[in-house]
C-alpha cells in the first residue's frame, strides 16, 4: 500500500545521507509520498520529483541561545509534517539526533498513529555510541522506534554489544543507484591525471577521517609499489589529508600519488581504476565498495565491521586483517600482477551486485518493514 513517509537524514555528509536520499527517490518512484525533513536539500536530490517534498528546518538564531536549538526545531518540524501531511511512517537515518527527534516529533504531533523506523549506519554506534554521555539518547531513540534496522549483521551485533542490550534489529544492506554505477571501463580521464596506459590505478575514496586509516593506505601502496608501475588515486578530503601527504613524501611515493580532492561524481574515477583499496579501522558497510564493485573494480578491504559481508574474500576481492599492511600489500600486488584474477573478481562482483544488492529488492525489504510497523500500529 502507498504510504506517506517522512525521512530524516544528514543532507550533505557521508553515506548515510546518500542511502537515505536514494531510498527516498526509489520509494517516490514506486508511488509513495516522500517528505525529507532536513537542514538543506539532500545533495543527491538533483531532479524534480512530483512525489517528493523537502521541508527545511530553519533554526531561530535568537541571541539568548548559546547553542541554536536545531534538534528541538527539527522535532517541531517533524510534528508539523506528521499532522499536515498525515504521515504513516517517519524513517530516521542515524541514531542521533534523528531517531530521538523522530520520537519527540511524534510525541508533539496531534496524530499519534505514525510509526517510527530507525536505520543505524555505523558511526552513530561505533564512534558516537562509545561516548557514555550519548548512550542514553541512543538507547532512547532505539527503544522508542517501532523497528530498527542496521546496514550490516556486524553493526547489528556491535549495537547490542556496545549498549549491553538485546534489541531485535533487522539487517537491510545498502544499495546503489544502478543507473549511475554500472560496469564500464573508460580511460579517457587518465591523461588528465597524467596516468600512463600501462600503469595500474589503485583508487581510495573516503572522507579522510581517522577511521579510514589513510596511513595504512599509503604504507600498503608504498610496499606494493616495489617494481610495479602503479598510481594511487586519492579521492576525498578531510582531517587526515595533511598527514597523508606528509607520509607519502616521507616514504618517497609522493610522485606516484594523485590527490583528486573531494568529488561528487566518483563513477567516472572508478571507471579508469583497476583496484579499489579501503583499509578502515571501522566500517559498518562501506558503500563505496559496492560502488566500485558495480563498476567492475575489485577491492582490497580490511576485515572491519561489515566489509567482509560486502566483499567475499578470494571471490569478489580480498579481505585482510585490520592494520596488517603487509597482508594488504601482498593482496594488492597480486591483483596488480594478475589481470585474469582481477577480471574474474570484477565479473563475480558485478554478479553479486545484481544478486545480493539489487536496489529494487532492498527497497522492497524496507516497504515490507513499513507494512509491518504500520499494521502493528493499526491493530
Ligand atoms: O564515515 C563514513 O563513511 C560516513 C558514514 C555516514 O554516517 O554517512 O558512513 C556510514 O554509513 C554508510 C551508509 O550506511 C556506510 O556505508 C559506512 O560504512 C558507515 N561508515 C562507518 O561505519 C565508518
Q: State mean pLDDT over 154-177.
A: 97
- DSSP E strand boundaries for the chain: 4-8, 33-38, 52-56, 89-93, 115-120, 147-150, 170-171, 200-205, 230-235, 257-261, 275-278, 299-302, 317-320
Pocket test for ligand 1, best of 96, 121, 287 (most atoms within 8 A of CB): 121
- Residue located nearest, by CA, to atom 23 of ligand 1: 283
In this prediction, residue 168 carries a pLDDT of 97
pLDDT-based confidence at 1, cuts 50/70/90? confident
Determine the Cα–Cα distance for residues 325 and 218; give it in Å rounded to an integer.
9
Is the pLDDT score of 150 beyond 90? yes
Determine the Cα–Cα distance for residues 373 and 190; give it in Å rounded to an integer.
49
At 201, give phi and psi (nearest 5°): -100, 120
Query: Do the Cβ atoms of 211 and 123 come closer than 8 Å?
Result: yes
Is the pLDDT score of 111 beyond 70? yes
Q: State mean pLDDT over 23-37.
A: 98
Residue with C-alpha cell 537524514? 9
Q: How far is the CA of 201 from the centre of ligand 1 (A)?
A: 24
Nearest to 248 by CA among 280, 208, 275, 276: 208
Is the pLDDT score of 271 beyond 80? yes
Q: State mean pLDDT over 340-355.
A: 98
- Summary mean pLDDT of the chain: 96
Q: State mean pLDDT over 199-215.
A: 97
Is the pLDDT score of 379 beyond 80? no
Is the pLDDT score of 244 beyond 70? yes
Residues 314-325 pLDDT 10s: 999 999 999 999
And the C-alpha cell for 146? 517501532
Q: Looking at the domain 4-175+358-378, which fold is it?
A: Rossmann fold (3.40.50)
In this prediction, residue 12 carries a pLDDT of 81
| CATH class as words, domain 190-356 | alpha beta
Determine the Cα–Cα distance for residues 156 and 119; give it in Å rounded to an integer.
10
Q: How far is the CA of 22 from the centre of ligand 1 (A)?
A: 15
Is the pLDDT score of 25 beyond 90? yes
Q: How far is the CA of 15 from the centre of ligand 1 (A)?
A: 5
In this prediction, residue 89 carries a pLDDT of 98
Is the pLDDT score of 278 beyond 70? yes
DSSP string, 206-267: S---GGG-HHHHHHHHHHHHTT--EEEEEE--STTHHHHHHHHHHTT-GGGEEEEE--S--H
Task: Please indicate whether the domains covering 4-175+358-378 and 190-356 agree at the CATH topology level.
Answer: yes
pLDDT-based confidence at 117, cuts 50/70/90? very high
In this prediction, residue 177 carries a pLDDT of 96
SS3 state at 95: helix
Is the pLDDT score of 13 beyond 70? no
Q: State mean pLDDT over 232-253.
A: 98
DSSP string, 68-81: --HHHHHHHHHHHH
130 burial (CB, 10 Å; 0-12 / 13-18 / 19+) is: exposed
Q: How far is the CA of 229 from the centre of ligand 1 (A)?
A: 32
**Could you tell me the residue ranges of all domains in the chain?**
4-175+358-378, 190-356
Pocket of ligand 1 (CB under 6 A): 14-16, 19, 121-123, 126, 151, 174, 207, 211, 282-287, 305
For the CA of 124, the closest atom of ligand 1 is: 7
In this prediction, residue 264 carries a pLDDT of 84
pLDDT > 70 in the chain, percent: 99
Taking only Cα atoms into account, the Rg of the chain, rounded to an integer number of angstroms, comes to 22
Amino acid at each position: 500500500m502507498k504510504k506517506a513517509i517522512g525521512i530524516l537524514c544528514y543532507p550533505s555528509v557521508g553515506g548515510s545521507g546518500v542511502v537515505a536520499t536514494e531510498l527516498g527517490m526509489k520509494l517516490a518512484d514506486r508511488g509513495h509520498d516522500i517528505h525529507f525533513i532536513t537542514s538543506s536539500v539532500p545533495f543527491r536530490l538533483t531532479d524534480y520529483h512530483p512525489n517528493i517534498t523537502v521541508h527545511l528546518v530553519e533554526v531561530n538564531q535568537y541571541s539568548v541561545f548559546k547553542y541554536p536549538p536545531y534538534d528541538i526545531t527539527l522535532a517541531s518540524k517533524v510534528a508539523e509534517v506528521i499532522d499536515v501531511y498525515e504521515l504513516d511512517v517517519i524513517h530516521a537515518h542515524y541514531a542521533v539526533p534523528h531517531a530521538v527527534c523522530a520520537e519527540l516529533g511524534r510525541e508533539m504531533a496531534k496524530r499519534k498513529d505514525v510509526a517510527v523506523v530507525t536505520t543505524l549506519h555505523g558511526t552513530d554506534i561505533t564512534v558516537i555510541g562509545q561516548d557514555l554521555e550519548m548512550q542514553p539518547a541512543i538507547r532512547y531513540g532505539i527503544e522508542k522506534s517501532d523497528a530498527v534496522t542496521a546496514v550490516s549483521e556486524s553493526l547489528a551485533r556491535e549495537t547490542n554489544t556496545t549498549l549491553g542490550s538485546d534489541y531485535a534489529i533487522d539487517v537491510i544492506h545498502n544499495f546503489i543507484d544502478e543507473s549511475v554505477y554500472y560496469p564500464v571501463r573508460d580511460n579517457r580521464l587518465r591523461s588528465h591525471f597524467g596516468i600512463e596506459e600501462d600503469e595500474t590505478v589503485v583508487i581510495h575514496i573516503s572522507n579522510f577521517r581517522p577511521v579510514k586509516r589513510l596511513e595504512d593506505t599509503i604504507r600498503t601502496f608504498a610496499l606494493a609499489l616495489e617494481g610495479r608501475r602503479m598510481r594511487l588515486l586519492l579521492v576525498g578530503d578531510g582531517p587526515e589529508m595533511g598527514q597523508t601527504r606528509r607520509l607519502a613524501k616521507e616514504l618517497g611515493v609522493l610522485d606516484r600519488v594523485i590527490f583528486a580532492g573531494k568529488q561528487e561524481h566518483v563513477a567516472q574515477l572508478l571507471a579508469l581504476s583497476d583496484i579499489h583499496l579501503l583499509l578502515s579501522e571501522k566500517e559498518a558497510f562501506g558503500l563505496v565498495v559496492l560502488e566500485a564493485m558495480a563498476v567492475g573494480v575489485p577491492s582490497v578491504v580490511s576485515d572491519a565491521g561489515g566489509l567482509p559481508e560486502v566483499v567475499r574474500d578470494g571471490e569478489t576481492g580480498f579481505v585482510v586483517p585490520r592494520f596488517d599492511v603487509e597482508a594488504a600489500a601482498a593482496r594488492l600486488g597480486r591483483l596488480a600482477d594478475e589481470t585474469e584474477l582481477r577480471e574474474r573478481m570484477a565479473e563475480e562482483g558485478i554478479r553479486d551486485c545484481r544478486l545480493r544488492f539489487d536496489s529494487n529488492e532492498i527497497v522492497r525489504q524496507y516497504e515490507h518493514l513499513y507494512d509491518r510497523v504500520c499494521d502493528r500500529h493499526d491493530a
